[in-house]
């Protein structure tokens, strides 16, 4: 049981460290706060809230995986290396894709409500 509880502590430590140390996750969290405020103001439906929450998780999770990959690569090498670049670029690309998909879906939800 102790190992099980420690796994939660380590996960929470990872979340907190990423939020404190990574600029981009702060930008994503600010966007989440804006969406939550807009959702309350425009009284979005339960389904729309579910979609938003899934997208929040997707973007934050990909950002955290990107951070983990970047840190692991930096731990292994500080030299310029094509494989290190490919790993970092692919991880960053996953964040970009999840953010673009989220923005498109946000447009589908919000544009009809605002205009």
pLDDT tens-digit series, residues 9-44: 999 999 999 999 999 999 999 999 999 999 999 999
Domains of the chain listed by start with CATH number: 2-114 (1.10.287.3610)
> Nearest-CA neighbor of 70 among 9, 25, 8, 3?
25
Q: Hunting for tokens 């490919």 — which residue is that? A: 86
Q: Are the C-beta atoms of residues 114 and 93 closer than 8 Å to each other?
A: no
Cβ neighbours of 93 (radius 10 Å): 12
Per residue in 38-47, is it b (16+ CB within 10 Å) or e — as a string? bbeeeebeee
Over the stretch 54-112, which tens digit does the pLDDT of each residue have?
A: 999 999 999 999 999 999 999 998 889 999 999 999 999 999 999 999 999 999 999 99
């Amino acid at each position: 049981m102790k190992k099980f509880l420690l796994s939660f502590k380590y996960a929470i430590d990872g979340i907190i460290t990423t939020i404190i140390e990574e600029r981009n996750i702060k930008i994503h969290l600010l966007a989440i706060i804006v969406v939550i405020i807009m959702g309350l103001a425009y009284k979005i439906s339960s389904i729309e809230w579910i979609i938003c929450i899934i997208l929040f998780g997707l973007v934050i999770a990909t950002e955290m995986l990107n951070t983990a990959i970047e840190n692991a690569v930096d731990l292994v090498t500080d030299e310029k290396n094509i494989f290190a670049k490919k790993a970092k670029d692919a991880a960053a690309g996953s964040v970009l894709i999840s953010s673009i998909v989220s923005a498109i879906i946000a447009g589908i939800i919000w544009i009809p409500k605002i205009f």
